[in-house]
Amino acid sequence: MSAAPPTAEELDGRIDAFLADHDPGAGAPLDFLRARFDAGLAWVHYPEGAGGLGAPRHLQAGVDRRFARAGAPTNQPEANGIGLGMAAPTVLAFGTEEQKRRFLRPLWTGEEIWCQLFSEPGAGSDLAALGTRAVRDGDGWVVNGQKVWTSMAHEARWAILVTRTDPGVPKHRGMTYFVCDMTAPGVEVRPLRQITGEAEFNEVFLTDVRIPDEHRLGEVGDGWRVATTTLMNERVAIGGQDRPREGGMIGVVAGLWRDRPELRTAGLHGDLLRLWVEAEAARLTGVRLRQQLTAGRPGPEGSAAKLTFARLNQAISGLELEILADEGLRYDDWTMRRPTEVDFTRRSPGYRYLRAKGNSIEGGTSEILRNIIAERVLGLPGEIRVDKDVPWKDLPK
């Protein structure tokens, strides 16, 4: 019979004991993070041995606050959002015990960065149309294809990869999910410049890339189900972030309004109040969504959170430029950087306005998310799909 999950008080006791044995200010930060993972105080809601203690998920925030107050080093989540928010839950749900032992610890500590090889030039919103092929070869697979809009591919050690393994069945079947070594021969990463002038994204070419079968997640042909788990977690990670009141973009613009009275106009005041209320409603909805996650895996409700995040970010960044008038038209950061994080709060208004345009594309386009909400949340009839039962190889390309 398994032990009962620890309570908040028991977790506090474990943290006290851990900090007594591990001084956050002494030694290498990586050693501290590894020890924290091994003590089950990384993801406390994960199972024992996987960085957790099987505790209720809502206790995680309190654990993180305790370590922050103690001055503990962080695992820099802003630099590994795909790994922490998408790859880790998928490995936990579908990985073997050996895969969990190999991947989860260096992922959480930030030793290994992850990226996501999903979208393709001909398969973005319709991910199930992807054509990157994985062909069985002995005890492994040989992969050929192209992926696009890959954040962090230029820094990543590992990638979560969806491929086509059986073109003779309908497109949602015959897909298989792998962990791909980004340092393997045949993996080529090329930068994609975006409207901000930066190359935050990449295109990735896979030419005869060999992947051992032990790096497969889930069963052969079951890649769509595994990918859906990833995508549901992605939308929660983007749209359901834990923020205080006036966190994120609305705090930036509200602060501008307070600090620069000479910019205030009556018409824009009404717009700011409306967006402030919508942002606060979205924040509280995110709190409820995270509470629901304690009972199981993310569902389609995360699509609504991500959809709202994109709409609000674009509206708020647009309002900021209206408030600033001519001053807001300047864009002074053409450094052509290869950033490792997206930062909406410490960059220029021009950057925020331009970068927000991508929010309605990344993590699932707003059009597709509306379909998901309509069908899976509201129970409305689905769109007619003429390709539903057609083998992938027979679809127009």
Going by pLDDT thresholds of 50, 70 and 90, the confidence category of residue 291 is low
Report helix, strand or coil for 121: coil
Phi-psi region of 91 (alpha: psi -120 to 50; beta: other; left: phi over 0): alpha
Does residue 40 surpass a pLDDT of 80?
A: yes
CATH number at residue 310: 1.20.140.10
pLDDT per residue as tens digits for the range 196-219: 888 888 999 999 999 999 999 999
* Residue 247 scores a pLDDT above 90: no
Question: What would you report as the CA-atom Rg of the chain, rounded to the nearest whole angstrom?
Answer: 22
CB atoms within 10 A of CB 31: 13
**1 pLDDT above the threshold of 60:** no
Q: What's the half-sphere exposure (Cβ side, CA atoms, 13 Å) at 120?
A: 20
- Which H helix or E strand runs over 203? strand 201-212
Any domain includes 382: no
- Whether residues 210 and 232 fall in one domain: no
The confidence score (pLDDT) of residue 233 equals 72
Q: Which of 229-238, 317-326, 368-377 has the lowest mean pLDDT?
A: 229-238
Q: Are 279 and 310 in contact (CB under 8 A)?
A: no
- pLDDT surpasses 90 at 290: no
Give the residue numbers spanning the domain of 63: 8-74
Distances (CA, A) of 231 to 172, 275, 355: 15, 27, 21
* 372 in the same domain as 272: yes
Q: What is the mean pLDDT of residues 35-43?
A: 97
- pLDDT (0 to 100) of residue 44: 94
Report the share of the chain in percent with pLDDT over 90.
62
pLDDT for 328? 87
Q: What is the mean pLDDT of residues 363-389?
A: 84
- Residue 200: CATH number of its domain: 2.40.110.10
- The answer as to whether 120 is a domain residue is yes
- Let me know if residue 24 belongs to a domain: yes
For residue 100, is it within any domain?
Answer: no
pLDDT, tens only, 152-196? 999 999 999 999 999 999 999 999 999 999 999 999 999 998 888
Beta bridge partners of 145: 206
pTM of the model: 0.85
Please give the average per-residue pLDDT across 142-148, as a whole number.
97
- Residues 62, 11: Cα–Cα separation, whole Å: 9
Provide the pLDDT for residue 160: 98
Q: What is the pLDDT of residue 240?
A: 54
Residues in contact with 41: Cβ distance below 8 Å, sequence separation at least 6, in sequence order:
11, 14, 15, 18, 53, 63, 67
- The 3-state DSSP class for residue 186 equals coil
The residue among 197 and 129 whose pLDDT is bigger is 129
Residue 125 lies in a domain: yes
Residue 26 in this model has a pLDDT that exceeds 80: yes
Helix (H) or strand (E) holding 309: helix 301-324
The reply to whether 44 and 168 lie within a common domain is no
Asked whether residue 212 falls in the same domain as residue 265, the answer is no
Average pLDDT, the chain: 89
The mean pLDDT of 289-314, rounded to a whole number, is: 74
189 lies in the same domain as 257: no
- Residue 320 sits in the same domain as residue 186: no
* Total structural domains within the chain: 3
Catalytic annotation, residues: 234
193 plus 265 within the same structural domain = no
How far is 200 from 382, CA to CA, in rounded Å?
35
